[in-house]
């Protein structure tokens, strides 16, 4: 099923999100640095809070890096003419779904069957 997508719109949206993520990754790197364990300078609860914040920063960074990979893959699909088709069934992904997340790989039916 062929659909008429505004490829320029999706390419621009993906590129903008990629810039946002790269900016966020740079600012988030400081929070993911190792926690200093010097007990003379920082109390136990403060260290635990810092370690929790560090773990959350590391996970956030991992998720952002995954989104960067998905965005780059979506841009590649735009370049090779495969954007907007489900990677499993090759049916068109609804435009509303693509507008919500242009990096989506699957139509709703295939995404639900994976859950």
Contact 111, 89 (CB under 8 A): no
What is the 3-class SS of the chain, one letter each residue? CCCCCCHHHHHHHHHHHHHHHHHHHHHHCHHHCCCCCCCCCCCHHHHHHHHHHHHHHHHHHHHHHHHHHHHHHHHHHHHCCCCCECCCCCCECCHHHHHHCCCCCCCHHHHHHHC
| Domain range annotation of the chain | 7-83
Dist CA 83 CA 3 (whole Å):
10
Kindly state the average pLDDT of the residues 88-110.
Answer: 95
pLDDT digits (tens, 9 = 90+) for 20-60: 998 887 666 555 555 555 555 556 677 788 788 888 988 99
pLDDT band at 3 (very low <50, low <70, confident <90, very high): low
Kindly state the average pLDDT of the residues 84-91.
Answer: 95
Predicted TM-score (pTM) of this structure? 0.74
């Amino acid at each position: 099923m062929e659909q008429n997508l505004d490829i320029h719109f999706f390419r621009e949206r993906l590129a903008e999100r990629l810039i946002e993520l790269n900016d966020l990754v740079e600012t988030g790197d400081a929070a993911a640095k190792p926690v200093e364990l010097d007990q003379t300078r920082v109390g136990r609860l403060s260290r635990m809070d810092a370690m929790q914040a560090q773990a959350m920063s590391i996970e956030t960074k991992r998720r952002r890096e995954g989104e960067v990979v998905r965005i780059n893959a979506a841009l590649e699909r735009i370049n090779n003419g495969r954007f907007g088709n489900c990677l499993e069934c090759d049916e068109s992904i609804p435009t509303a779904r693509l507008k919500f997340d242009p990096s989506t790989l699957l139509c709703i039916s295939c995404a639900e069957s994976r859950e």
